[in-house]
Amino acid sequence: MSSKIRNKWFGCASIGVLISGLAGSNLPRKWAWRRFTKSQLALTMAVSLLHNCVVPVALAGEATTDQSGQKSPMVTTQPDVVPDIARYLNDPAKESKLPPKVLTKLLQERIKYVFVIFNENHSFDNEYGTFPGVNGLYSDGRTPRSADKTPGFTQTYTDANGMTVTVQPFRIGTEQNASVIDSVDHSHTGLANKIHVVNNQPQMDQFASDEYTRFASKGGAANVAEGKQFARLVMSHIDCDTIPFFWKWASRFTIFDNIFATEDTPSTPNAVAMIAGQSGETQWVKHGSAGQSYTVGSHTGTTQGPPIVNDPQPFYGSQFDTTTDNKQPAGTNESYADTNIASNLTFASLPLTFQGRDIQTVLSGNKNPSFDLPDIQQDIPFIQQVGTKPVNWRWYQEGYNLEPTDTNGVASHNAYVTHHNGAQYFGYVANTPEISKNLRGLNDFFTDTASNSLPKGGVFYIRGGYTNQQGLKPAITNPNTPADEIAAINAAKAGDDDHPGYSDRQLSEGMAARVINAIASNPKLWQQSAIIITYDESDGFYDHVPPRILSYGPNGLPLSRGIRVPLILISPYARTHAVSHAEGDHNSVIETINTIFGLPALASLPDEAQALAAGNSPEFNKFGPPGFEQKYLGPRDINSPITDSLLSGFDPKRLLGISPPLPASFAKIPDSVVNTLPHYGGQGCRALGITPEDQRQGIVNNIPQGFNPLPSTYPAANP
């Protein structure tokens, strides 16, 4: 190379060394954004100089590559910047990007609390398909996209009269009381039908057909009418008039538009995947998929073996669990049929790596090691040897214990959706008192934050349930709604975890607002927090983005990935008004937690790594199409082209102290607004100053005549 280029290269290398050295120093936790220490100033100058180097350097979050191999910017700015956002906006296209080690060090200095608000059952397009700047129903986020270029946009089915019926996406809002709808088909087989994999490529074109067929195939006019309505409902979507709080946070912080459900299954497997990156694939590889048979009293049955693909109840707390001390609760509104119990899960998860250097001491208190610990025998000494500091954690879920909605001081568990508690499925969690003490009720979260009783730093999961603790009734936005329909809605939709089967969307965003307000009202928490709002799975609502098919299960159906789901990152150090296109699933959340707390990846643990290797063999490859290789039968929380972390959602300038942290007021929503339904009088888009993409393009919204968003809850409206 020429001397000029050589000098430039060595200059860049020296700057890189300077950055690495500064990143390894003990940077102060609290930086006043206008005042710099010498090391901060040097780091800032070094990064700025590095940005001007002509020689490429491995930087974090520069670009993403889609399934077709096309590269595009990892992060883009949303359009239509309003004044209260403009003053905090940093253009990602003009930033000095940080080397990964520097970014990691800064995050570890800044972020001490990760909160995961874990909601239920909505696809990305169903809630954000018209959000400006994202890959949605009518645009790729930068330019409009026609229907013929959008997978599955036009769907057809053959009705009972032999006629071909066409359904396309349409928006529902105030007139349809869009915050309350019925749940669509999200069974494992139903989801496989909907995404319709051909040559390992999802076509995304059988959503309407699946919905119509599952009812109309039963015969009779009522079933045909119900199938017709569900075929429409599955293609519907909403906007900021219906969920204004969620859209507000998405606009003020960072929304991710390329995150998928880990498993192409209903809720339980993805609740497990949120903390394990899988639903039991490594356990399947080691022991097969058969369940275990039990007879306890009058109950006889065989558990559902791994990988979990349905919604069975956790073993601990079930009728087959014979423990008496510290027994786990069972939701009173849950199905505990003898055929609906999961096998005890024994593979690694975050609650295992959270134990760090204390793992052997903690697990010595497990009450049945031969039953609960067989598949982590190599992982335990490995984690002990890594020697990381233990990470505090809690799983707060409504109804787990005594809640304000209970009477007489007795925990009823009426609000508890047991099959949503991913942590309870693991024997080493449920049956180890030192670990199971971290499973708590929803109100415990608010009590802990109000009394400053949260542990000093850690990871905290928050889930709603079958009811809401404010005693609020679902939002009714159409004043002409018949009284009997309102009564049906009030009886069926008072939950707050966003599951359309029993929840109201505005009660659900209200619960999220209560959580965020509790964090943002505590300066110490807010200044050191990252809040993730995401979902377990799609409920089976239409989404146009085909997921990568990474694995097939023992039934030969696609196992991973599932349909795209929403994810929003909120933090004082988050980008504002940004869209990250990083690709991933619940493993992305795990990978982010690993980075912030310095944990070993689950995929790197010896038991999991061995199972991942063993899964790519003829014994398991046979479940996929010819030539398919099962490379992902287990966690994948190691950064790769197919699974990225959420780090692209953090703003380098805010982390460096060049730009001010986002204030807590940016995230808070007044209690008076939270508790007044409908939110913003059903005019959320106007209140927020957001113009949805379909309206930006002047697209005519064609709601099918006679559409009923409650075909099961209020069948009287089915024509």
Distance CA 215, CA 223 (A): 5
pLDDT digits (tens, 9 = 90+) for 185-226: 999 999 999 999 999 999 999 999 999 999 999 999 999 999
Q: Spell out the alpha helix ranges (H) of 364-468.
A: 369-372, 379-386, 427-430, 433-436, 442-450
Residue 348 has pLDDT above 70, yes or no: yes
Residue 121 pLDDT class (50, 70, 90 cuts)? very high
Under 8 Å between Cβ of 168 and 154: yes
Confidence of residue 712 (pLDDT cuts 50, 70, 90): very high
Question: Are residues 579 and 210 in contact, defined by beta-carbon separation less than 8 angstroms?
Answer: no
- pLDDT per residue as tens digits for the range 556-594: 999 999 999 999 999 999 999 999 999 999 999 999 999
- What's the confidence (pLDDT) of residue 13? 37
Residue from 661, 655, 660 nearest 27 by CA: 655
Strands (E), 326-379: none
The answer to whether 309 and 265 are in contact (CB under 8 A) is: yes
Concatenated DSSP letters of 478-508: -TT--HHHHHHHHHH--BSS--TTTB-HHHH
The separation between CA 338 and the C-alpha centre of its own chain, rounded to angstroms, equals 30
DSSP 546: P
Amino acid at 397: Q
pLDDT by residue (tens digit) across 361-382?
999 999 999 999 999 999 999 9
Tell me the C-alpha distance between 396 and 117, whole Å: 10
Q: Give which of 612, 694, 583 is closest to 256, Cα–Cα.
A: 583
Domains, the chain, ranges and CATH? 101-137+239-290+343-667 (3.40.720.10), 152-237+678-717 (no CATH)
Mean pLDDT, residues 14-24 taken together: 41
> Residue 501 and residue 283: Cα distance in Å, rounded?
31
Cβ 420 vs Cβ 536: under 8 Å: yes
Distance set, CA 467 to CA 471, 474, 536, 676, 707 (Å): 8, 11, 19, 17, 27
pLDDT average, residue stretch 106-121: 97
pLDDT surpassing 50 at residue 6: no
3-state DSSP call for residue 443?
helix
Pairing of strands 458-463, 113-119: parallel
What is the SS3 assignment for 467-484? CCCCCCCCCCCCCCCCHH
Question: First and final CA of the chain: distance in angstroms?
Answer: 76
State both tokens at 284. Answer: 């399947």
Residue 299 backbone dihedrals phi, psi, to 5 degrees: -100, 125
Of the pLDDT bands very low, low, confident and very high (cuts 50, 70, 90), residue 71 is confident
The mean pLDDT value for 404-432 works out to: 97
Rounded distance, CA 418 to CA 420, Å?
Answer: 5
3-state class (DSSP) for residue 158: strand
For 227-259, b/e burial (b = at least 16 CB within 10 A) is bbbbbbbbbbbbbbbbbbbbbbbbbbbbbbbbb
Whether pLDDT at 66 is above 70: no
- The alpha carbon torsion through 289, 290, 292, 298 (nearest 10 deg) reads 120
Residue 27 confidence (pLDDT) above 50: no
Q: Give the separation between CA 300 and CA 637, rounded to whole angstroms.
A: 38
The answer to whether residue 267 scores a pLDDT higher than 50 is: yes
- What's the whole-model pTM score? 0.92
Give the confidence band of 94 by pLDDT, cuts at 50, 70, 90.
confident
Rg of the Cα atoms in the chain: 25
% pLDDT > 70, the chain: 90
pLDDT at 16 over 90: no
d(CA 584, CA 653): 25
Contact 581, 633 (CB under 8 A): no
Contact in structure between 551 and 559 (CB atoms under 8 Å)? yes
CA 70/CA 299 separation, integer angstroms: 55
416-443 b/e with 16+ CB inside 10 Å = b?
bbbbbbbbbbbbbbbbbeebbebbbbbb
Asked whether the predicted pLDDT for residue 35 surpasses 50, the reply is no
Token output for 415 = 């609000």
Q: Mean pLDDT lowest for which of 68-77, 402-411, 430-439?
A: 68-77
pLDDT digit string (tens) for 392-405?
Answer: 999 999 999 999 99
Distance CA 187, CA 632 (A): 22
Predicted local distance difference test score (pLDDT) of residue 68? 63
DSSP state of 132: T
Per-residue pLDDT at 695 exceeds 60:
yes
Q: Which SS3 state, helix, strand or coil, does residue 418 take?
A: helix
Q: How far is CA 655 from the centre of its chain?
A: 24
Give dist(CA 687, CA 681) in Å, integer. 9
Query: By the 8 A CB rule, do 583 and 642 touch?
Result: yes
pLDDT higher than 80, residue 9 = no
More confident of the two residues 11 and 419? 419
- Residue 282 to residue 307: CA distance in whole angstroms: 8
Q: Categorize the per-residue pLDDT at 46 as very low, low, confident or very high, splitting at 50, 70 and 90.
A: very low
Encode pLDDT of 588-617 as tens digits: 999 999 999 999 999 999 999 999 999 999
In a 13 Å sphere around the CA of 179, the CA atoms on its Cβ side amount to 37
- Say yes or no to pLDDT of 22 above 70: no
Please report which confidence band the pLDDT of residue 97 belongs to, taking 50, 70 and 90 as the band edges: confident
Q: Where are the alpha helices (DSSP H) in 116-155?
A: 124-128
Residue 43 burial class via C-beta count within 10 angstroms: exposed 0-12, middle 13-18, buried 19 and up? buried
Residue 422 contacts residue 118 (beta carbons within 8 Å): no
* Average pLDDT in the chain: 91
Give the pairing of strands 164-167 and 155-158.
Answer: antiparallel
Query: Is the model's pLDDT at 649 over the cut of 60?
Result: yes
Widest Cα–Cα separation across the chain:
85
For residues 415-437, average pLDDT = 98
Q: What is the DSSP string of 20-40?
A: HHHHTS---S---TT---HHH
* 201 three-state secondary structure: strand
Work out the average pLDDT over 416-436. Answer: 98
| C-alpha dihedral sign at 156, 160, 163, 167 | negative
Q: Which residues of 330-368 are buried (b: 16+ CB within 10 A; e: fewer)?
A: bbebbebebebbbbbbbbbbbbbbbbbebbeebbeebee
**The pLDDT of residue 45 is above 90:** no
Rounded Cα distance between 679 and 686, Å, is 12
In the predicted structure, residue 60 carries a pLDDT above the cut 70: no
The percentage of the chain sitting over the pLDDT mark of 90, rounded to a whole number, equals: 87
Q: Rounded to 5 degrees, what are φ and ψ at 447?
A: -65, -45
Distance CA 95, CA 653 (A): 8
**Of all helices (H) and strands (E), which one includes residue 551?**
strand 551-552
| 69: confidence class by pLDDT, cuts 50, 70, 90 | low
CB of 505 closer than 8 Å to CB of 541: no
Residue whose structure tokens are 């609390």: 113
Neighbours of 291 (CB within 10 A): 17
Instruction: Name the more confident of 66 and 233.
Output: 233
pLDDT score of 545 more than 70: yes
Q: Token pair for residue 453? A: 């009783």
